[in-house]
C-alpha cells in the first residue's frame, strides 16, 4: 500500500525503518512524562543536525589525518626509564 502525500510516496514505516518511528518507540519505552515525550523527537532532530554539521565542517576543513599509534614510543613520551 502506498499513499502519495505532498508529492512524495509515503510507505508504511516497517517497509524502510522510518526514523521517526524509532524515536517514538524509544520515547514510549522510557519513563517520560507527556511533556518530555513531546519534546523528545525535536531534541533528537537537533542533536542529529548538530552531529551532521560538525561532521561536514570537519570534512570541509580538511584536517590532516591523525598519526597511527602502532609506531608510537610511549616510554619516550612519558619519560620512561632512564636506565639506558
Q: What is the pLDDT of residue 81?
A: 57
Q: Which residues contact 80 (CB under 8 A, 6 or more apart)?
A: 74
Q: What is the pLDDT of residue 52?
A: 95
* Residue at grid coordinates 560538525: 54
| Radius of gyration for the chain, computed over Cα atoms and rounded to the nearest angstrom | 24
Let me know if residue 37 belongs to a domain: yes
* Residue at grid coordinates 590532516: 64
Cell (9 digits) for 36:
518530555
Let me know if residue 44 belongs to a domain: yes
Domain count, the chain: 1
Rounded Cα gap, residues 23 and 39, in angstroms: 11
User: What does the pLDDT average to over 47-63?
Assistant: 90
Let me know if residue 83 belongs to a domain: no
Q: At what angle do helices 34-61 and 19-29 cross, to 10 degrees?
A: 130
Let me know if residue 80 belongs to a domain: no
Let me know if residue 26 belongs to a domain: no
User: What does the pLDDT average to over 62-81?
Assistant: 73
Instruction: Report pTM.
Output: 0.46
Amino acid at each position: 500500500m502506498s499513499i502519495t502525500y505532498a508529492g512524495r510516496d509515503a510507505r508504511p514505516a516497517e517497509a524502510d525503518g522510518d526514523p521517526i518511528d524509532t524515536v517514538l518507540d524509544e520515547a514510549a519505552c522510557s519513563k517520560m512524562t507527556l511533556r518530555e515525550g513531546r519534546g523528545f523527537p525535536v531534541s533528537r532532530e537537533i542533536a542529529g543536525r548538530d552531529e551532521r554539521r560538525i561532521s561536514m565542517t570537519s570534512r570541509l576543513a580538511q584536517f590532516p589525518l591523525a598519526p597511527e599509534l602502532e609506531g608510537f614510543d610511549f616510554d619516550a613520551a612519558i619519560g620512561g626509564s632512564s636506565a639506558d
